[in-house]
Each structure stands twice: as structure tokens, then as C-alpha cells.
Structure 1
């Protein structure tokens, strides 16, 4: 099975701007992306100041023809989901949405990139926003850990500096310097567009020529970042942070993407640390129990020194032993027989790349990345061809050549109280209709044929969420989910992982507020064995005692890490204040006390009670034969106990309350929570629109609190629908000295929404945004299988979520106002603040 050649084409407009066009008429969506070959490593005299990231923020503040608000309103009204990001070597702006809005999206993108107005009155306000973002990064252990690695692994390479910049250098950037940097870097030579989706190529070229005719041809003076010289010995750096366990990284310098050894290094990284059957996961986590998490990864880009790395989360006392165990695994690579693992790694790589083709956004990004890195749209295919030619001898050779002590960097972020250590498919085929059958034991089966790609996604949804837990057994669903993949009566965890990884298949068990989902995805020929393993995991988990202890420890470590995150701390208080100390008021990962008390027999009893045919739904979506799938499901799930659908008792709700908490962090957090709707409530659709209105960049919260007043780095809303109740909450992060002002403004905005709902002149734009998001999410098989299984489990038709657009379109402003008053205006909220 080969990765298909792209049918996309490149075109150069009269002003020199390159555009990549990928026409795919299979879904009425489009992804429009503008890639500027400018990132933090190109900042020259401003290196380390975060100028590229600042520029990314300021581009959204308006253009020659539109204000920032007008741009946001245009995108929202057209149903677009938009954002941008800056990396070491690029800045990317993208809008995804309905295909009939393509012209609007492209007008916005080209205006923003080439004609920003950079209003002076927004400049200092946005710098304050980024200052808070820098502070938040200092509070984030993952950001700190990443910065520690790059600043140690590279001595001269610009990537040793954070993309967002150092505060003292960031403060020195002037408005004039930013404008000049834009003139120098955002040129037609240094920028290209990547567009994928439902459009006609010749019409698109004509339109782009027209809207870009006023953009003059411009050139970029090349910037030559400092070249990293060969490393001459092991580098080691350790730091401390408020975390419960150490974050250890071991990284070796390797050549760039253009080097002939790059394909072998990528595959060796997969063999070493990708998937549950990888050497690191099996030998170190599962067999030796030395860490909570471990994985291998590689960062190999063209023209620069790359990294081949191992990252792990480990209890500090075990850090040294883990480090030695990793080195022992590395030493084995130079003499290993890689024959079977090489086949598995190639399969995993192929499947991972196939997944990029499932959405317009994924295709546009893949093509753009290929062009940015190599000027070859088919580079993904060509690179996969190179990986398929890698031999076991090649893997041994690159291990001996590069994974040596003189290329090694070791960093760790340790707990604060730790002692300092010494060390070409046809995409036009339409989907079939959804089909529901009931198996002989009462298990409901939902299927849909979709032959656009040779892939299948399947989900077993089981009704066992937070309502099934008690204070004493809080976290039992999360613990059980983590254990179900640790082996069955007939298969070890390693056998399961090896079989699935060898096919390039993915699998896992997760739990949410209402359900536990046992899911897998695979290539079409591998469905029989994949479904057999999924059934085995769901019906026959062995729950080994050593795994219980290990996963319990990892879950407790996650609880401890939650305790250091201000927003997590706020919501851990908000939910029990809304719902009481049971059901949706419980922390989904439990407490240290509840986890410590849970025994294997508790887990076995919980599994037996809830994993039954009448309490579950199986969904299989993709390139399938429905009759054959039904036969397989009937056979594989025959031994699933019939059981009964679990009934969820009504929840008694306490009176609202206010809480003030303290945490030794630089940021302040505010949460405001209201009781929301249940999954079956008729107000759900209205609340969906209110939620989108409150979370959109053009909505009232973001516009007023973050943009107009500069009071918060982030401000948004969240909600969930439970079996018999729900939650609708607002939250923001700000500086402590602005908390009271931000709180007053947020509560005032909530009051306005509660009284008036969504303004009539904005409602259609909000609906368009929701509808576009719905269309984008329904591109993915996995999402469709999951949503259909959950809908059916909760008592709705399997295609319930697909009928939501019609309900959304029919909503009136009066209906939305009534829902807003009912949920946000009729009850006092629970308010939780977390301050230093």
C-alpha cells in the first residue's frame, strides 16, 4: 500500500506569490493557509525578543481596509475557524470553513499578511497581553522543560531562545522596528498560500490574481542563522519546578532532513519509543516500572541540526535508574535484529501520514510543509519511499554513528524539594447511510460505509461516567480505562501492542463525564484482527496487580500536577460546589485517598456491572461491508453479558457559593459556573450557540475583556451536558492586580448575555460559525463513530448529531434569550478565584 501522489499544483501569480491548489470536491469545506518563511530564528539583531510572535498577534488588529473587529466579524459571519501560530522557522495563518466562503477567507488572509495597518493604539495593549503569555509560560512545566532542553542542546543555534522571547528583550521592541521587520520578511517571495478543499482551480487562480493585483512584488534579504558546530561531549542541565515528578529528556544531535540518514533516524525513533509495543514502553515502563510515561521522538528539519530524543515522566528518586536504563536500550540498538520492528515502524509511519489526508486542513498543511521544507509537493510520498528502503543494517549504523555520548544532552525539570543530581486515493466517493442493528445479546451496532480511504474507526461506548462513581471510589473509571489495555485473559499487553503497532493501528480506552470509550482505528484489511482485539480488551481485561500499582501511581502524580495549575485548582473547587461531592462534582481522576483505597476486586466488580450489552453501543465506520461487520461483531461480542442499562439517579444540587483560593503562581484565575442542561434538554441547541458566541474571537468576552481593555490573556467559556444536569462556566486568566476589574467586567458581560441572549444582528454569524465547525468535525471517521455511539447510548438516533444543523438554523433570538435567562439569569453562580 503506497501513499498517493498529490494532485495539487503550484501557480505563481504576477507579483511572484506562489499558491498551492488542492481541489477536492468530496466535502463542502475549505482550508486556506498563508505560510510566511519567518520564525524566531530569522530575527537577526532582535534574536530572542519574540518579534515574529509579536507580529503574528498584531496582524489581527486590522488592515488597510478593515478594522480588527471587522475582520473578526467577516470570518465569523462566513463560518470560519481561524488562528495562527509561530514556530522557529515559520509563521502560519489559517482559516477553515465552508467552501462557499473561500473568497472571504482569502481576502482576509491576504489583507492581514500583506496589508496590516498596525494601529499604534493597539501596540502596547497587545504587548501587555504577550507579557502575560510569557508569565504563563513561566508557570507551565512543559514550556519550561522544552526551553531547558533547547537552550542546553544548542550553543549557537537560534532555537536556543524561546519563540515568544525573553521578557527583557521583548520589552525593548518598538512599534517602528516591528513595522520594518514586517516590510523585510512578509514579502511575496517569502510567503505562499496553500488552499485545499471544494473549489475549481481555474476560477481560484483568476480570483487570486484579482485580489492580489494590488500587492507589489517584494523580496527578502536572506538571514543566515548561526550554524551549530558539532557537539564535543555530553551536556547536562537540571532545574526545579513545582511538579510532583521529574520530566527527563535525553537528546542526541543528528543531521538535518536533507541528509541521507534522516529516513533511518525517523524509523529508529519510532521503533525505540512510539506506541505501546515500543522498546522503551515495554522494557522500561511496563517490565521495569521505572517511570509513569516514556516516549521517543525526533525533530529533523532541513538545513539545521536535528534532535533524536527520549522524554519521560519519572519519580525523582528513580531518575538516575531510568537514565541508565535508557542508555542500555540505546546500546542494544547497534546490534539488534530489526526485521519485524522495521516492518511495524514503516506501517505506523504510513498510517500516520494517511491520517493527514482525511481533512482539508490536514491536506493543506501537509502540502505547505512539503513546499516550505523542500519545494516538493510530493515530499511526503518520496520520504516514505526512502523509509521503505531502510534496512536493519542502516538502523544499526545510524545508532552507532549518532547515538553516542559526545552527541548527548540530558536535561530534567525536577520537583522543588528534590536534591540536585550529579547526572492516490479517490476522495469523491460519498458516505453510505448509517445503519443500526441489535445483536442477539442486546448490543446495539451502528455502522456506516465510507470508502474514500482504506481506513476503519470503531468505538464501543459504555454508560459508566461520573454518575457511576462515589467519593470513596472516585477516579475508578479513569483507572479502569488505563488498565484495560494492560492485557487480557488470552493476550499480554505487549502482544496487543505489538500486533496493533505492526498494523499501524491505534487503540485506547478513555472516559468522560458520561461514558467510557474503547476505540481503535486501522487500515481496512486489518479490521478483523483489530475488532477481535478491541472486543478482547473490552470484555476480558485481566487487570494485573503490578499494572494497577503502576497506573495508580501515574494517576496520583497527575492529581499532584493538577494541584499546581491555577485553572485546574479552580475547576476542582467549582464542580463540587455546583453538584455536591458526588457524580459530576467529582474529579474524574479521583483523589489520592480514593485511589489508594481501590482494590482489584473493586475494579473487577465495576467492569462486570457496567460493561454489558444493554449498557453499551458499538459503532464501526469506514471502508466496510456492513453485513460482514455484523457477523464479526455477533461472533466477537457473543460472550458479553446481557445486563441492563444503568439508571442514573437524580442529582441533588447545593446552594451556590463563592470561594477564594491561593496558589504560589504569577497568574490569577477566575471561574464562574452555572448549572447547565442535560443531554436530552431541548435548550441544548440554544446553549450551543451561546457557548460559541462566548468563545469566539469576535464574541463579547474576547473582544471587550481581552482586546478592548487588555484585562486578560485568555477568557472563554466551557460547558458539558450530563445525564440529568450539566454545567455552563466562564473562566479567565489575568494578572493579580487586574483581577477585580476583570471579574466585574466578566460578571457584567454574563448579565448582559443572560438578559438579552445573542444580538439579532450577530445571530446569523454565530450560527454560520457553529455550522462550519460542525461540518469540519464531521470530516473524521473517528469523530463520527464516537458521536454516533454516544448518541445511540444516550437514547437518540445514531445520526442525531447530524440533524443538529437544522435545529440550529431554526432557532430564533427569542428562544436563545429564553435559554440564556433560564440558565444564566435565574440562578446565582458559583464563583472561584485563585490568586497568588
Structure 2
């Protein structure tokens, strides 16, 4: 079977030499709009399969927050072909594994099987895309499961503080909504609303199918054609383009919860994966928090000994999101002093560029993590699907050259652009009876 089979087209993508370990990626399209990425890897007898849908909390509105995550749960509760629990039992009986996750920008489902059983994942995903059942009883049972998830998150200090910081960091953008949704919305979402959400977003032209592992591409394409080509295109709603107003005042959030250890998050706006400044943030994260020689970790934990743990969080998103500094202070430490140290180090970084040694170390750490993120077949399906869903998978071809091209002056310029004190959201969780305060300074 050649590349120009009925119903789809394909082309080999060019790869630079420095990403030889992910060479062999092919991109294909069915006429109904389904995008397929394949990469053969015959070093192990395993195939990982993922399907990504461009839908998450970014596509939601007040009144139905959490519906994308709720729908993810319902995709395991039965179709016209598979009864409740049968997808998991088939996966286990064939020695495979499966799971799913929902984020701001996407919902993804994955399977890993031995290479003589990879087709099982395609059969399941094709049926789920077109024939999910939404049994009313299962719908109500799963609602209760997610309500319990919300209660568990409320019992987690980091989850509680992170959600509060996220919601206070955005005035208009739907990134302010928690992916799991609010309790008030979850109890009011109807089955009809979910079916409509499913019909709008779970269609071939809103999906990316990714396979990596021990298979022959032509055989995969034949099976994909048989299973997915009959599914019709959908009328996918456009996500709203929402621009946040410029931040002119710092936002502060203080929570009180029964806890022995306080928590602190300092969050700033961050560029989307589609902006060139995104690469500089990878360097900044390493320079601030990775290891004893990094600036914040070195000062707060190694030198001043006011904190027991510190890390930064920054991820790939479709629209500008957040860069967060998370600190677990020692119980006896003064939180105001820790906050002042954080802003001092950030101010220094914007005025005084990283030294040659610091920049080189951060680049090595970024590139090392980059290679580690493609270690397994599942890792590769995640990374390829993630970037194809948000922008284009070729981002990974650009990553190493872009990181190596960054100068200390450019990194400092980006930090100064995003990291002024008035652009920050500062969240603090301390011991006490449950209450919450939010303010703008």
C-alpha cells in the first residue's frame, strides 16, 4: 500500500541531525480531518498509542467548568461495543496499560501494548470517538466520584493554594478555571450538556492520533483508514480569543488551613509555547531552582536555610499562562523575609545577566531533560502529541538550537519583561481555621 491511499495523505518530515533520535516521524491526514503521527521503533516489542483532543478548561465557560474532565471519566463507562469496565479488562487481559488526562488545552488517552496487539487501542479509540454511551446511571455515579476528587484536592495544601493562585492570576481568560471544575458547576452539569460537548469536540478533525513503537506504518495506516475514515467531520466551536488586561498591581492570596507547614507560591505570567520567549523560561527555571548552585535554591535552602523545598513550574500552553515558584518554608521561618529574598533574587537576575558558567549549566540541564523526555515509546507519544495539539510537533526539532542560541542578555531581558513585582500573584497558606483572602496591592 503506497502513501497515497484513499482517504489520507502523508509526507515524511525533515529532521536536523541533532534530533536523530526522533527521526522517522511521518505525518498523515484522513479526509475527515484526523491527523496521524507515526514513528517506527523496532528496538522493543512495544507500541504506544495516544489520541489527543483539542479541548480542555480553556474551552469552558462559567456554569460548565470541569465538563471536559468529567467527559474524560465517562469515556471509560461504556460504548455501543464495550460494556462498562470492558476497556480496562481487555487492556489488562492483553498485558497492556491505559490511562487518560485532561489539562487546560487538551484531553488525551493512551494505551501501551505488546507489538502483536497494538490494534486493540485503535479499535477502542475509534469506537469511543463515535459511539460513547453516557448511561444515565453511570453519569450520576461518576459525578459523585469527581465530587470526591474535589474534596480530596481541597484537603491538599498545595492543590488548594495552586488553584487559588491560578484563579486570581487571570481576570478574563478561562485559564482561571480549575481543570477539575468547581463544585457548584459540577453538581449542575447535565447529561445533555455533556453529550453536546462530546459531539462538538470528539470528532476526527479535532483529534491527533499518535503511534510510536514496533509496527509497520503501512499496516497501521490501513487499520486507521478502516476504523476512523467512516467517522464524520464535526463542527468544532472556535475557542474564544481572550487577552488579559495588563497587570498593574500585585495580587495577593492568603489561605488558612489546618497545617503544620506553611506554603508559598509566587507566580508570574509566562509566554505560550508559540512565543519565542518560551525558550528563555526553560533557562530561567533551571537557573533559579535546579540544584545547590541555582540562585533561589542556593540562597533559600543552602545559604539562609529558611526553606526545606523549592521548585519552579512552567509548562507548554496554547495561550500565555504562568511560571510559578513554589516554596515550602521551615515552620519557624518568617514568610515576609522569604518573599523579600525571592524578589531580591529576581531583581538581581533582571539587572545582572547569568554568568557564562550559570548559562552553560542551565543549557546542559535543559538539553539533558529534553533527551530524557523521549526515553520510552510512551514518552515520545506524549511529547509529539502535546506539541502537535498546541502548535506543531516540529517544535522539538527547534528546541536544542533555540536553547543553545540564547544569550545571558536575552534571558535577562525576558525576565525583566515578565517579572516585575506588580505582575506577580503571591499566594500564602498558613495554619489556621479555614478562610481565604484575596487582594490587589
2:117 to 95, 101, 109: 101
Say which SS state the counterpart of residue 168 (structure 1) adopts. helix
Shift of 1:182: 0.4
Where in structure 2 are the equivalents of 1:189-208 lying within 5 Å?
Answer: 189-208=205-224
Question: Does structure 1 residue 237 correspond to structure 2 residue 234?
Answer: no
How far, CA to CA, are the matches of 1:307 and 1:128 in structure 2?
31
How far, CA to CA, are the matches of 2:437 and 2:301 in structure 1?
22
How far, CA to CA, are the matches of 1:360 and 1:188 in structure 2?
23
Aligned to 1:33: 50
Aligned to 1:220: 236
Aligned to 2:423: 407
How far, CA to CA, are the matches of 2:353 and 2:68 in structure 1?
44
Aligned to 2:264: 248
Q: Deviations over 1:655-688 (max 9, x none)?
A: xxxxxxxxxxxxxxxxxxxxxxxxxxxxxxxxxx
How far, CA to CA, are the matches of 1:287 and 1:2 in structure 2?
38
Shift of 1:378: 2.3
1:310 to 295, 314, 325: 325
Note closer, same or farther for the CA distance 1:319–1:418 as it changes in structure 2 (3 Å cut). Answer: farther
How far, CA to CA, are the matches of 2:427 and 2:62 in structure 1?
28
Aligned to 2:83: 67
> Are the equivalent residues in 2 in contact too, given 1:22–1:364 (CA < 8 A)?
no
Task: From the CA coordinates, give the structure whose radius of gyration is larger.
Answer: 1
Where in structure 2 are the equivalents of 1:496-575 lying within 5 Å?
Answer: none
> Are the equivalent residues in 2 in contact too, given 1:145–1:413 (CA < 8 A)?
yes
Say which SS state the counterpart of residue 81 (structure 2) adopts. coil
Say which SS state the counterpart of residue 340 (structure 1) adopts. helix
1:17 to 14, 28, 34: 34
Gaps of 5+ in 2: 1-16
Q: Deviations over 1:797-835 (max 9, x none)?
A: xxxxxxxxxxxxxxxxxxxxxxxxxxxxxxxxxxxxxxx
Aligned to 2:133: 117
Say which SS state the counterpart of residue 165 (structure 1) adopts. coil
Question: Does structure 1 residue 345 correspond to structure 2 residue 366?
Answer: no
> Are the equivalent residues in 2 in contact too, given 1:134–1:164 (CA < 8 A)?
yes
How far, CA to CA, are the matches of 1:41 and 1:142 in structure 2?
22
How far, CA to CA, are the matches of 2:243 and 2:112 in structure 1?
37
Question: Does structure 1 residue 92 correspond to structure 2 residue 125?
Answer: no
2:274 to 251, 258, 262: 258
2:60 to 39, 43, 68: 43
Question: Does structure 1 residue 370 correspond to structure 2 residue 378?
Answer: no
Shift of 1:313: 0.4
> Are the equivalent residues in 1 in contact too, given 2:270–2:320 (CA < 8 A)?
yes
Aligned to 1:381: 397
Where in structure 2 are the equivalents of 1:97-496 lying within 5 Å?
Answer: 97-224=113-240, 226-302=242-318, 304-315=319-330, 317-333=333-349, 334-375=351-392, 377-416=393-432
Say which SS state the counterpart of residue 44 (structure 1) adopts. coil
Shift of 1:2: 3.4
> Are the equivalent residues in 1 in contact too, given 2:95–2:113 (CA < 8 A)?
yes
Q: Deviations over 1:565-598 (max 9, x none)?
A: xxxxxxxxxxxxxxxxxxxxxxxxxxxxxxxxxx
Q: Whose RCO is larger (CA < 8 A, sep 6+)?
A: 2
* Residues paired across the two proteins, number: 420
Note closer, same or farther for the CA distance 1:419–1:329 as it changes in structure 2 (3 Å cut). Answer: farther
How far, CA to CA, are the matches of 1:329 and 1:396 in structure 2?
12
Shift of 1:417: 6.8
Note closer, same or farther for the CA distance 1:353–1:404 as it changes in structure 2 (3 Å cut). Answer: same
> Are the equivalent residues in 1 in contact too, given 2:343–2:421 (CA < 8 A)?
no
**TM-score between both structures, scaled by the size of structure 2:** 0.90
Q: Deviations over 1:725-760 (max 9, x none)?
A: xxxxxxxxxxxxxxxxxxxxxxxxxxxxxxxxxxxx
Aligned to 1:491: none
Say which SS state the counterpart of residue 32 (structure 2) adopts. coil
> Are the equivalent residues in 1 in contact too, given 2:112–2:378 (CA < 8 A)?
yes
**TM-score between both structures, scaled by the size of structure 1:** 0.49
> Are the equivalent residues in 2 in contact too, given 1:79–1:101 (CA < 8 A)?
no
Shift of 1:354: 0.7
How far, CA to CA, are the matches of 2:385 and 2:74 in structure 1?
23
Q: Deviations over 1:116-150 (max 9, x none)?
A: 11112211111111111111111121210110110
How far, CA to CA, are the matches of 2:361 and 2:402 in structure 1?
15
> Which sits farther off after the overlay, 134-143 or 51-60?
134-143
Alpha-carbon RMSD:
2.1
> Are the equivalent residues in 2 in contact too, given 1:23–1:199 (CA < 8 A)?
yes
Note closer, same or farther for the CA distance 1:297–1:7 as it changes in structure 2 (3 Å cut). Answer: same
How far, CA to CA, are the matches of 2:107 and 2:208 in structure 1?
11
Shift of 1:337: 4.1
Say which SS state the counterpart of residue 412 (structure 1) adopts. strand
> Are the equivalent residues in 2 in contact too, given 1:3–1:354 (CA < 8 A)?
no
Q: Deviations over 1:689-742 (max 9, x none)?
A: xxxxxxxxxxxxxxxxxxxxxxxxxxxxxxxxxxxxxxxxxxxxxxxxxxxxxx
Say which SS state the counterpart of residue 113 (structure 2) adopts. strand
How far, CA to CA, are the matches of 2:312 and 2:147 in structure 1?
33
> Are the equivalent residues in 1 in contact too, given 2:115–2:214 (CA < 8 A)?
yes
